Structure 1
Amino acid sequence: MDFQDYKSFWNDKASTPRGALVAVDGSHDERTVRLTGAFSAAQARAALDLQAADRVFELGCGVGRIGRELAGEVAHWHGLDISENMLGVARERLAGTGDCAFSPLQGPRLDALGDASMDKGYCVAVFIHMDKEDFVLYLRDVARVLRPGGLFYFDHWNLAHPVGWRRFALEFEQAARLPAGQRKDVARNQFVVPQEVEAYVRGVGLEPVLVLDDSPCVQVVARKPDGDALAGAREAERLRNAAPRISYGEQWTTYFDAIVADEAEARGPRRLVALLAARPADDPVARMFRAWIHGAWQSRPDWGPLPADLDPAA
């Protein structure tokens, strides 16, 4: 099916609650989405130094995968998404969790949020599905809604990283097999280099305070200028110290690279299974990947029998 805009694409993907979970990050059940949500929430928490008095927004909140972990820690959390179906699932998952609001997006604007009304915001694994013009338009409105000194954390596929390039290769090899004149999905994966992202951030009037490029994802914390050079320097120092807790890290990158390598060979993720088998059951990153791949394997009969050493309860 061909889709002409992001809204129809993501509403179709999220036509059922389970479909919404899968569309967000490939999680096939509530247990898995909570594990991946906790991982991403820890990154956002470290990037933004969240405080109890903060008013925080999430651009592309999906099913509330991350918001469910953070909303109860701040004064107000506002989830925005292009898909009304996603927001319906998010409302149910965040029911009773702090002071929350939900708003559908109609285009590359944050119309539900007032000028300088938010302390902090974040956007995880969302800009990767946008044309770059829309990416920049959203960043421009992020600059509008942040208060002076406010922070915004986001990530994007990193074309300059070797694993990021291999992930991009899956896209252009697929494109090479498409019939002439057939375009890819409107929400296809797109890729950037760190210098490009920094240019976009500066171009909309924000300051890139931290840029991490040590994984397949470029990770950025941007700050809205407030004229306080000392406060900006303190924030930069805090982020340098927090960087190891924000980065995807070597272990995550190794596991992701294994998935990409097997997908390039059109086979089940057996490299990842072998890596996971060598890790203890209480390793949090391995536990997250075990849950994720167990659910994915059950939906892919072409991968063959589920490996005996992939413990679904680990």
Structure 2
Amino acid sequence: MAISAAARLCEASRLALSEGRRRLAFALALARGVRLLWLPRGRYKEVWNSLSGTEELAKISVLGHADEAQFSKTAEATRDMLIEHVGIHPSDRVLEIGAGVGRVGAVVAPLCREWTGADVADNMLRHIRNRLAHLDNVHTLALNGYDLGPVASASVDLAYCTVVFMHLDEWDRYGYIHEGFRVLRLGGRMLIDNFNLTSDEGWAVFQRQRADYLPGRRPPHIARSSTPQELATYFQRAGFEAVQQRCEGLWAVTWGRKPAEGMP
């Protein structure tokens, strides 16, 4: 039986929510004198700059480990998922929202005309420029954590956001999908994911976090789940058509298309 890209992503990302290792990143940041626990979750720039001072710390903060082979494996699985669900074309201008250290960009940029890695953390953008310096179609863009203000309307063919929504409040999740609709060209595509509260795997993460982090002691970057209904609602309310979903294991993946009406 063929294994779907979503299933490969789930398998490859099995360490993505490893709380023990993510707490290591938290501890490392605290050891550097960063008072993360007292930062509000919504101060994304401060939180994520604190968690990404070095490339190793940035990797652990995002995926729970710094193993480059595992990073490449998860990136390839995400690339395959994008190809399967929304396609990556040589003529595409691609935007990744919350690009981190360029984990996925390293394998997506060679397939498209232009890849822009956008992130709220200046440190992350520095890591992207260092890691992807060999690719001449890579650009970086600083975000404020709430919208895509620096991106021109109708300038992007494909926008995606992976392993990011878990770190955002619900309003900001919708904000990026709403903004994604704005920056897409007619017929443009968007894909996002988050860990799925309604799955057994997602529920296990939820219960583990409930036990590990008492109220008042939860770090601002703690991963929070979505439901498929939540994600589909965001896409539909933003104006996307052909909204589809795939839920396998830990992940709920949602994608849609900006209506092509009026295209020449």
Q: TM-score range by the shorter chain?
A: 0.7 to 0.9
Structure 2 match to 1:191? 225
- Deviation, structure 1 residue 163: 1.4
- Unpaired runs of 5+ residues, structure 2, are 1-34
4+ runs of 1 displaced by more than 6 Å? none
15, 34, 39: which one aligns with 1:3: 39
Q: Which amino acid aligns with 1:220?
A: T
Q: Distance in 1 between matches of 2:212 and 2:47?
A: 19
1:35 aligns with 2:73: yes
Higher CA-based Rg: 1
Structure 2 match to 1:89? 127
Structure 2 match to 1:24? 62
172, 177, 180: which one aligns with 1:134: 172
Structure with more relative contact order (C-alpha pairs < 8 Å, separation 6 or more): 2
Q: Distance in 2 between matches of 1:215 and 1:33?
A: 19
1:225 aligns with 2:259: yes
The answer to whether the 8 Å contact 1:57/1:121 transfers is yes
Structure 2 match to 1:148? 186
Q: Distance in 1 between matches of 2:145 and 2:103?
A: 22
| Count of aligned pairs | 224
Q: Distance in 2 between matches of 1:50 and 1:40?
A: 12
- Where 1:70 maps in the other structure, the secondary structure is helix
Structure 1 match to 2:114? 76
Q: Which amino acid aligns with 1:67?
A: G
The Cα offsets for residues 251-272 of structure 1, whole Å up to 9 and x where unpaired, read as: xxxxxxxxxxxxxxxxxxxxxx
The answer to whether the 8 Å contact 2:159/2:189 transfers is yes
Counterpart mapping for 1:52-71 below 5 A: 52-71=90-109
Q: Distance in 2 between matches of 1:82 and 1:118?
A: 19
The answer to whether the 8 Å contact 1:150/1:224 transfers is yes
Counterpart mapping for 1:92-171 below 5 A: 92-171=130-209
Q: Which amino acid aligns with 2:84?
A: A
Structure 1 match to 2:30? none
Provide the TM-score with structure 1 as the length reference: 0.68
1:216 aligns with 2:246: no
- Where 2:171 maps in the other structure, the secondary structure is helix
Question: RMSD value over aligned CA atoms?
Answer: 1.6
Identity of aligned residues (%): 31
Structure 1 stretch displaced more, 56-65 or 95-104: 95-104
- Deviation, structure 1 residue 43: 1.4
- Where 1:134 maps in the other structure, the secondary structure is helix
Structure 1 match to 2:25? none
- Deviation, structure 1 residue 98: 3.7
Q: Distance in 2 between matches of 1:67 and 1:225?
A: 26
203, 207, 215: which one aligns with 2:237: 203
210, 224, 234: which one aligns with 1:172: 210
- Where 2:141 maps in the other structure, the secondary structure is strand
Q: Distance in 1 between matches of 2:206 and 2:80?
A: 26
- Where 2:149 maps in the other structure, the secondary structure is coil
Q: Distance in 1 between matches of 2:86 and 2:186?
A: 14
The Cα offsets for residues 238-283 of structure 1, whole Å up to 9 and x where unpaired, read as: xxxxxxxxxxxxxxxxxxxxxxxxxxxxxxxxxxxxxxxxxxxxxx
Structure 2 match to 1:50? 88
Q: Distance in 2 between matches of 1:46 and 1:91?
A: 28
CA 1:21–1:107 in 2, change beyond 3 Å: closer, same or farther?
Answer: closer
Q: Which amino acid aligns with 1:93?
A: R
- Unpaired runs of 5+ residues, structure 1, are 229-314
- Where 1:155 maps in the other structure, the secondary structure is strand
